[in-house]
Structure 1
Amino acid sequence: MAAFFTSLTPMQIAFFVNFFFQITFFIGIIKSKKYGESSSVASQLLIVSFLVQFVLSILMASELSHRK
């Protein structure tokens, strides 16, 4: 199991982290719908997960452009 984690490339790690934050993004959407838009925790979760996804997508795109 440890060999699996040490063999991951930075691109794969960014993909898994991005996938995790997409899940938290949808959880934040569900919670904000369930508890109303005034739920500050859900809105903060949405903002943080969106920012992390944005930064990771920029990093992944720059990684792909350097591979060519």
Structure 2
Amino acid sequence: MKFGLRTPSVKRSLKVRTTGRAKRMVKKAVVPGYGQRGMGVVKNPKRAARNAVYKRTTFSIWDLFK
């Protein structure tokens, strides 16, 4: 498990800002329960637990400027 600063990725940062919005709008209209809190635990509890720990033990470079 990683601790500390996450490695920034310019490629991923651009992708999430451009292609994600339209895709999320379509998925929210079609898939019931998409985008609601807690659905990750229902779908895959092991992954949700791992992601929760990762989020608490690492930080982004952008968090330093807040």
TM-score by shorter chain over 0.5: no
Tell which structure's C-alpha radius of gyration is larger: 1
Structure 2-normalised TM-score? 0.30
Q: TM-score, normalised by structure 1?
A: 0.29
Structure with more helix by fraction: 1
